[in-house]
Amino acid sequence: MKKTLQKINGLMDSGIIEKYAIAGGIAHFYYIEPSVTYDLDLVVSVPGGKHELSPLGGIYNWARENNYKAEEEHIIIEGIPVQFLLAYNELVSEALEHRVEISLFEEKTFILEAEYLMAIMLQTGRASDRERLVRFLTEVDYNNDKFMAIISRFKLMDKYHKFRKKYED
């Protein structure tokens, strides 16, 4: 994973991506006990962004030039399947703007804050997200006021109350 993070940081240093943050299962591992995942999900912003016909083209060109294979939606970087995701809505865009710098495997990297991960899990609502959200609510030392402000701003409060009623207690 260390070599993978080094390559990803190189993408940012070279300007191929503007910023990134670890999301998905690996981000959850940072905050709660591990569960099953096999890839590294990255939310990224790229020069030109959403307005280009192929906004991730620079990343895929870099992969080809450096002999990293694409398999389905992943690029295998130093043995790790990496999925590059553009910030696909306003919540994810804001989460990327508020990413935090951390150290993993003695390598500088960036991760989405717990409160934003929780809001994204609530918004997405997949079965794995619901299970992880229960764990976040009970195991993570998060800022409840911040979480409430985020879900209020993105009109997720009704969904949150339904979630609490169904999954907690």
Place of tokens 């192929």: 54
One-letter-per-residue 3-state SS of 117-146: HHHHHHHHCCHHHHHHHHHHHHHCCCCHHH
Residue 60, beta-bridge partner list: none
Q: What is the pLDDT of residues 2-23, one digit of tens each?
A: 999 999 999 999 999 999 999 9
Q: What are 54's two structure tokens?
A: 């192929």
Per domain, the residue ranges of the chain are 2-112, 116-167
- CATH number listed for the domain at residues 2-112: 3.30.460
* 62-86 residue pLDDT tens: 999 999 999 999 999 999 999 999 9
The bridge status of strand 70-71 relative to strand 40-45 is: unpaired
Does pLDDT of 112 surpass 90?
yes
CA-nearest of 84, 58, 65 to 73 is 84
Residue 17 DSSP symbol: S
What does the pLDDT look like over 30-74, one tens digit per residue?
898 766 677 999 999 999 855 567 899 999 999 999 999 999 999
Sign of CA dihedral 137, 141, 145, 147: negative
* pTM, to two decimals: 0.92
- Going by C-alpha positions, the residue among 127, 49, 129, 34 that lies closest to residue 85 is 49
